[in-house]
């Protein structure tokens, strides 16, 4: 041992001699969320693949909220761990660029449908205003690349509901408590109540609201087990929710509210016209205000102590 590996670099560099320096270690794992430099800015991304090429680790990343045509191979020098500190860096760069997250640069063309020739020209414009100057693979042609980081909808959660979320965090993660399930009212009930409330106010035209509420329920049912539970709630979930039961019939306002924390990210995966996004945002805000108005009836003020759900039911949990 002790052979110098430098002479071997001319050949295929995959074989490490065993005494290669730590810079060849894999810093990021597949599926990991990271921050990635692209142009002058930093974007949240996800590592799809990691490969060792010529003694260097390369990562195939997908930029969250961007069309997958933007996915690319980058080196570790372009990536950072997703930490509070690095997020600050990201925000600092955003400020420097003078970009407001809700800015409309380069996207006004999106609301007008175009022939493919025009769309290509607009793509060029987008390329210039957005810092991503790479050539784009043209895909099937139907999915035009018109998604943008700036499109993340802003959902302003009212402050009393924010406090509710902090209390919720405290109950579950700090005090080992759990929401007693099933909830009444549950998510279904709340959405129905909201539709009734809006129907009284608006009269007929509640089609849009109705469709949006269906969308919320749909997101909730899918998102709950995937991203709305604290680790300590997973066991309860497995016990209470069985295959054919939808979470919206079991959980209530506490978990529904968490959905709204994640809403902007969820919507980033579907392309929606800017104007429509703004209307949608307004409707979601109205729903949140409704939750706030009914905060005392919809939300629990206290959660159950440890093992609160199955106490006395003899489930025989082995902890």
Q: Is residue 104 close enough to count as binding other proteins by CB under 8 A?
A: no
The smaller minimum CB distance to other proteins, of residues 52 and 266, is found at 266
Q: Which of residues 47-66 bind other proteins (CB under 8 A)?
A: 48, 62, 64
Q: How far apart (Å, rounded) are the C-alpha atoms in residues 4 and 212?
A: 64
Contact in structure between 253 and 296 (CB atoms under 8 Å): no
Q: Which of 124, 242, 270, 301 binds other proteins (CB under 8 A)?
A: 270
Report the nearest approach of other proteins to the CB of residue 23 (Å): 28
Count, residues near other proteins per rule CB under 8 A: 56
Cβ within 8 Å of residue 49, ≥6 positions away:
30, 59, 60
| By the rule CB under 8 A, 147 interacts with other proteins | no
Q: Quote the DSSP letter at residue 304.
A: B
Q: Which one of residues 207, 244, 318, 319 is an interface residue with other proteins (CB under 8 A)?
A: 207
Write out the two tokens for 67: 């069309």
Exactly one of 222, 240, 300, 309 binds other proteins (CB under 8 A); which one? 222
Judged by CB under 8 A, the stretch of 34-42, 182-190, 202-210, 242-250 that binds other proteins is 202-210
Helix axes 207-227, 187-202, angle to 10 degrees: 160
Q: Does the protein bind other proteins through residue 78 (CB under 8 A)?
A: no
| CA dist list (Å): 246 to 6, 219, 224, 270 | 59, 11, 10, 23
User: How many Cβ atoms sit within 10 Å of the Cβ of residue 283?
Assistant: 17
121 binds other proteins (CB under 8 A): no
Residue 148 near residue 311, CB atoms below 8 Å: no
DSSP per-residue string spanning 162-186: HHHHHHHHIIIIIS--B--SS-SS-
**Only segment of 2-10, 166-174, 183-191, 300-308 that touches other proteins (CB under 8 A):** 166-174
Residue that the structure tokens 């409704």 belong to: 290
- List residues binding other proteins (CB under 8 A): 31, 46, 48, 62, 64, 68, 84, 110, 113-114, 119, 142-144, 146, 159, 162, 165-166, 168-169, 205, 207-208, 210-212, 214-215, 218-219, 222-223, 225-231, 258, 261-262, 265-273, 275-276, 279-280
């Amino acid at each position: 041992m002790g052979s110098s590996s430098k002479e071997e670099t001319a050949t295929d560099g995959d074989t490490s001699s065993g005494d290669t320096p730590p810079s060849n270690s894999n810093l990021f794992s597949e599926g990991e969320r990271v921050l990635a430099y692209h142009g002058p800015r930093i974007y949240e991304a996800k590592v799809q693949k990691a490969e060792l090429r010529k003694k260097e680790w390369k990562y195939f990343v997908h930029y969250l909220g961007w069309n997958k045509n933007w996915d690319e191979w980058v080196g570790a020098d372009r990536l950072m761990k997703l930490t509070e500190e690095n997020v600050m860096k990201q925000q600092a760069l955003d400020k420097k660029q003078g970009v407001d997250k809700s800015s409309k640069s380069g996207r006004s063309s999106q609301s007008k449908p175009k022939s493919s020739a025009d769309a290509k020209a607009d793509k060029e414009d987008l390329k210039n205003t957005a810092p991503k100057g790479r050539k784009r693979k043209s895909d099937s042609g139907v999915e035009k690349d018109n998604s943008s980081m700036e499109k993340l909808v802003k959902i302003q959660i009212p402050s009393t509901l924010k406090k509710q979320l902090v209390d919720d965090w405290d109950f579950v993660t700090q005090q080992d408590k759990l929401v007693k399930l099933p909830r009444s009212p549950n998510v279904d009930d709340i959405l129905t109540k909201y539709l009734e409330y809006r129907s009284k106010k608006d009269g007929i035209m509640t089609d849009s609201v109705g469709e949006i509420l269906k969308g919320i329920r749909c997101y909730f049912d899918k998102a709950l087990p995937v991203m709305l539970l604290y680790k300590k709630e997973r066991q309860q979930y497995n016990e209470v929710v069985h295959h054919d039961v939808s979470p919206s019939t079991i959980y209530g306002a506490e978990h529904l509210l968490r959905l709204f924390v994640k809403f902007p990210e969820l919507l980033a995966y579907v392309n929606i016209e800017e104007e429509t996004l703004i209307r949608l945002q307004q409707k979601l805000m109205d729903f949140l205000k409704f939750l706030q108005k009914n905060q005392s009836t919809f939300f629990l003020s206290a959660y159950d102590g440890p093992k609160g759900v199955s106490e006395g039911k003899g489930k025989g949990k082995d902890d």
